[in-house]
Amino acid sequence: MLRIAVQSKGRLYDETMLLLEEAGIKLNRGKRILLLSAKGFPVELLFLRDDDIPQSVANGIADAGIVGENEYVEKGQEARLVKRLGFSRCRLSLAIPKDEEYNGIQWFEGKKIATSYPVIVRDYLQKNGVNAELHIISGSVEIAPGIGLADAIFDIVSSGSTLVSNRLKEVEVVLPCEALLIANNHLTEEKQAILDELLFRFESVLRAEGKKYVLLNAPKDKLADIIEVLPGMKSPTVTPLADRDWVSVQSVISESHFWEVIGKLKALGAEGILVLPIEKMIV
């Protein structure tokens, strides 16, 4: 049985549970409990505060964990990074009052900075030759300048709306963050095998994100041009049709370039374009 520590609430919790569900990890849900086992797969979830996860994994209380990069870096525990998961993206940034003029990192010289991440910001300031006083608080960091507790803040920024509502502006992005899969450094062979299978499932789900499966009919004399537009994972699948002058083409395209690609395909004479979602991609 592999024990995975996950955040007990919040956006990271929601996205973690969705990933597990899409990876076929069916949980015995019900009343929220500290430890929750899966059905049909040797995994159990340990629900913790996000800042407790790195230490719990490092100490072997949990075998693995899904945690925000901000907490992983801040805690500096001896737990290995297995995979960047690409969701719950945010950033750790320095922010100052909106009306302040900012002309570079030296603005923070001699200033007081409120933060819940003293290790990360202290390292950043030292690397930039800035001496500042840190005021360590947990929660509601963004109100500190408004009540005279600090001159600036160092905190998690997602959409930036919280900064705006507190008349602050982001001036330095120190650390882009995302969800990480981490693991204990001394897993048994059995637990490592379970983690490898879980990682395989995660990668299959994550690989499919932002991808669409496209089927279309194309004139054979335009096939070379169409293949240039649709490279696919290795190359598109091409199948003859009853009409010898036409072929069926199947491929995978990125959703970020979807309409651009579709426009090019139509210009090359493609017809009957069918677009399907992809749940998993196994390579």
Q: Where are the domains of the chain?
A: 2-88+178-207, 90-177, 211-277
| 8 Å CB contact between 163 and 95 | yes
CATH code reported for the domain at 211-277: 3.30.70.120
Q: Which two tokens stand for residue 245?
A: 């002058």
**Helix axes 11-22 and 189-208, enclosed angle (nearest 10):** 100
The sign of the torsion formed by the CA atoms of 175, 72, 185, 27 equals negative
Amino acid at 44: E
Can you give the pLDDT of all 283 residues of the chain as single tens digits? 999 999 988 889 999 999 999 998 988 765 567 888 888 899 999 999 999 999 999 999 999 999 999 999 999 999 999 999 999 999 999 999 999 999 999 999 999 999 999 999 999 999 999 999 999 998 789 999 988 899 999 999 988 898 999 999 999 999 999 999 999 999 999 999 999 999 999 998 988 888 888 898 989 888 888 888 876 556 788 899 988 889 998 888 887 778 888 888 888 898 888 888 887 777 6
CATH architecture of 90-177: 3-Layer(aba) Sandwich (3.40)
90-177 matches 2-88+178-207 in CATH topology: yes
Match domain 2-88+178-207 to its CATH number in 3.40.190.10, 2.30.110.10, 3.40.47.10, 3.40.50.300.
3.40.190.10
Name the E strands within the chain.
2-7, 26-27, 35-39, 43-48, 64-68, 80-84, 90-97, 112-115, 133-136, 152-157, 168-177, 179-183, 211-219, 237-240, 246-254, 271-277
